[in-house]
């Protein structure tokens, strides 16, 4: 018995030693991961996607060096829920964070991308916008934008970390980048792979450009109006008629820079006035029709949105330059995406929330040298539930519990597998500031079916003939079989993802109410 055990012990020791060597080799091969995540960035404002409102040369570098996904979507087009999905690979009902206003703090004790990577030996950090009303879990280092609403300010934002709250001076995109580079400078010398979630608040409302863009602001330059800017919504569903998203009625003086925020230093305020004061004077002295006023507000809104994108893009280029200069790009997986898209005047609207293409579609770019062919494009239907499984696959980490999403890395094999899937969408936040009705739906290769279950209203769109979601085909002759099939597909997804039959109760706790009051006060 003793003789038998000695070889067994020796064999076990050898096995452990060999396993250690294998783990060490795999660790050396595992990529660093830098996920660049922005806020409310519409695909139409990323020049890598072709016709664009703005040039984004830094973001475009990632597309040129890797893959551009042309059909990437989110499952709930609102900030906090989208970020919770990134971390968990789960739809909102499963990760518990389904609404900005009513969910309560994100439960970081559940399985997350950051905790899994941290447990596998990765150095982990999140810097910038967090918007989950909790302290980050699974991150060795975190330094997140702080205020009651967790949105922060463009100029002189506060940051929260384990050390407390830090007041800063500067433009938010610059500060997030400086903090990120400082952490990378430390992490690159640790001998372990790193995961950085580099989160911008840009270009979220109220779209305040950086100092360089303020200095070069051109009031006379105009952007093209969307065809549907003056769309008449009176004949559409009550869900669309009742939404409070019209630029004409609901955009504020802060949004269009008729009023200056109260967080700027005297030097910053001087730049703001240099950019906007003369245009404001002309607007206030003019006698405009409703149509002329909408056109003016649209231009101010979209132009400041574009300028804030430029401010962010320049800082993204700064971080990419750092990775190149430190020879880190050869073994770093770099991704760019946003928590959702955004209406830039389509339907006369601003904001997000809807399953419409401009709201639920996001830019999604990946560069991983030696693994993804530069200049690749993909029309595979993908969703933000796939982000975490993809990064875990790249890191060689298996989730302990199943995720809703799947790894996208097989798409880049020499012989990729068939890719046929439908996408599920579910928006919960009603009551909500913009009055968007709760709805869920299914998106297939060609069609989109939505159900506004509070109103008992349906919409059906053919995305080949109507990519802008303008013509509701539900109940029209010739679409009965298509509708029946889509309803079956929708039900199948709800069963697959175990979607509850009833929505969670509204959590009336003090945090959201305080945040809503603060939000209203800022806009008064």
Peptide bond just before 352 cis, omega within 30 deg: no
Alpha helices in 158-289 (DSSP H): 172-187, 211-215, 238-242, 247-250, 266-285
Please give the class, per CATH, of domain 30-212+294-412: alpha beta
Helix and strand counts by DSSP (H, E) for the chain: 15, 18
Q: Is the pLDDT of residue 10 over 50?
A: no
Averaged pLDDT of the chain: 91
Local structure of residue 131 (DSSP, 8 states): -
Q: What is the per-residue pLDDT across 110-153, written as a single tens digit (0 to 9) for each?
A: 999 999 999 999 999 999 999 999 999 999 999 999 987 888 99
| Residue-wise pLDDT tens digits, 266-308 | 999 999 999 999 999 999 999 999 999 999 999 999 999 999 9
Whole-number pLDDT of residue 519: 45
383 has which bridge partners? 73
Q: Which residues 6+ apart lie within 8 Å of 102 measured at CB?
A: 428, 429, 504, 506, 507, 508, 512
Q: Identify the pLDDT of residue 518.
A: 44
Alpha-carbon gap, residue 475 to 473, rounded angstroms: 6
How far apart are the C-alpha atoms of 520 and 199, rounded to whole Å? 25
């Amino acid at each position: 018995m003793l003789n038998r055990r000695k070889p067994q012990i020796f064999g076990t020791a050898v096995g452990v030693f060999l396993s250690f060597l294998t783990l060490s080799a795999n660790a050396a091969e595992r990529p660093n991961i830098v996920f660049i995540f922005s806020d409310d960035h519409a695909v139409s404002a990323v020049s890598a996607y072709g016709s664009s409102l703005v040039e984004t040369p830094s973001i475009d570098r990632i597309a040129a060096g890797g893959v551009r996904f042309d059909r990437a979507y989110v499952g709930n087009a609102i900030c906090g829920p989208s970020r919770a999905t990134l971390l968990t690979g789960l739809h909102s009902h499963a990760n518990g964070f389904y609404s900005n206003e009513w969910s309560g703090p994100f439960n970081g004790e559940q399985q997350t991308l950051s905790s899994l990577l941290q447990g596998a030996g990765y150095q982990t950090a999140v810097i910038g916008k967090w918007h989950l009303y909790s302290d980050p879990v699974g991150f060795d280092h975190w330094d997140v934008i702080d205020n009651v609403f967790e949105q922060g300010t463009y100029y002189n934002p506060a940051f929260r970390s384990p050390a407390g709250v830090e007041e800063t001076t500067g433009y938010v995109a610059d500060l997030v980048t400086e903090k990120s580079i400082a952490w990378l400078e430390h992490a690159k010398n640790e001998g372990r792979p790193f995961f950085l979630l580099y989160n911008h608040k840009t270009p979220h409302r109220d779209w305040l450009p950086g100092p360089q863009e303020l200095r070069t602001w051109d009031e006379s330059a105009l952007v093209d109006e969307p065809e549907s800017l003056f769309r008449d919504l009176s004949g559409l569903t009550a869900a669309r008629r009742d939404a409070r998203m019209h630029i004409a009625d609901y955009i504020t003086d802060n949004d269009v820079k008729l009023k200056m925020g109260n967080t700027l230093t005297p030097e910053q305020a001087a730049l703001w006035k240099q950019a906007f004061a003369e245009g404001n004077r002309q607007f206030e002295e003019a006698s405009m029709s409703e149509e002329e006023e909408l056109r003016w507000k649209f231009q101010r809104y979209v132009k400041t949105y574009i300028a804030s994108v430029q401010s962010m893009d320049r800082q993204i280029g700064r971080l990419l330059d750092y990775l190149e200069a430190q020879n880190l790009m050869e073994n770093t997986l770099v991704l760019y995406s946003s928590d959702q898209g955004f209406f830039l005047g389509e339907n006369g609207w601003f904001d997000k929330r809807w399953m419409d293409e401009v709201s639920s579609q996001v830019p999604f770019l990946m560069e991983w040298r030696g693994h993804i062919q530069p200049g690749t494009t993909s029309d595979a239907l993908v969703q933000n539930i796939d982000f975490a499984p993809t990064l875990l696959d790249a890191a060689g980490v298996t989730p302990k519990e199943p995720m809703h999403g799947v790894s996208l890395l097989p798409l880049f094999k020499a012989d990729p597998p068939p890719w046929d899937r439908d996408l599920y969408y579910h928006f919960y936040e009603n009551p909500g500031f913009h009055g968007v009705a709760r709805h869920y739906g299914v998106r297939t290769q060609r069609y989109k079916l939505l159900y506004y279950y509070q109103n008992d209203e349906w919409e059906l769109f053919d995305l080949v003939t109507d990519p802008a979601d303008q013509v509701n085909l539900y109940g029209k002759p010739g679409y009965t079989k298509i509708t029946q099939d889509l309803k079956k597909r929708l039900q199948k997804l709800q069963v697959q993802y175990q979607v509850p039959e009833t929505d969670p109760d509204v959590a009336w706790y003090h945090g959201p109410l305080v945040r809503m009051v603060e939000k209203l006060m800022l806009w008064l």
